């Protein structure tokens, strides 16, 4: 059975913590992941996924900027580009 945890952290801090010889990835105030025994491959994959997420968000921002620029050229003051958040497999 797979358990899915949904967490939205917005701009809350992301940091590494060390406690009693263990290392944790802290995401916001609600999630702490023990990465003490993570392999280098898993940590590299985590970095790759984070890079992919940042690229996706940049693309969304660019798409919204283009829509705003086109609207401004047409004399419209504001146009929002709706998007729906979808779960991402990690």
Note the pLDDT tens digit of each residue in 21-57.
999 999 888 888 999 999 999 999 999 999 998 999 8
Residues in Cβ contact with 21 at an 8 Å cutoff, skipping those fewer than 6 apart: 36
Model pTM? Answer: 0.58
Residue bearing the bigger pLDDT, 31 or 11:
31
Note the pLDDT of residue 29.
81
Band of pLDDT at residue 68, cut at 50, 70 and 90: low
């Amino acid at each position: 059975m797979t358990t899915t945890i949904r967490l939205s952290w917005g701009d809350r801090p992301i940091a590494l913590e060390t406690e009693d010889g263990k290392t944790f990835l802290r995401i916001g105030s609600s999630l702490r992941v023990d990465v003490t025994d993570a392999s280098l491959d898993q940590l590299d994959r985590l970095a790759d996924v984070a890079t992919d997420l940042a690229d996706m968000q940049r693309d969304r921002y660019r798409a919204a900027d283009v829509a705003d620029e086109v609207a401004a050229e047409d004399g419209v003051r504001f146009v929002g580009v709706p998007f729906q958040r979808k779960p991402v497999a990690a």
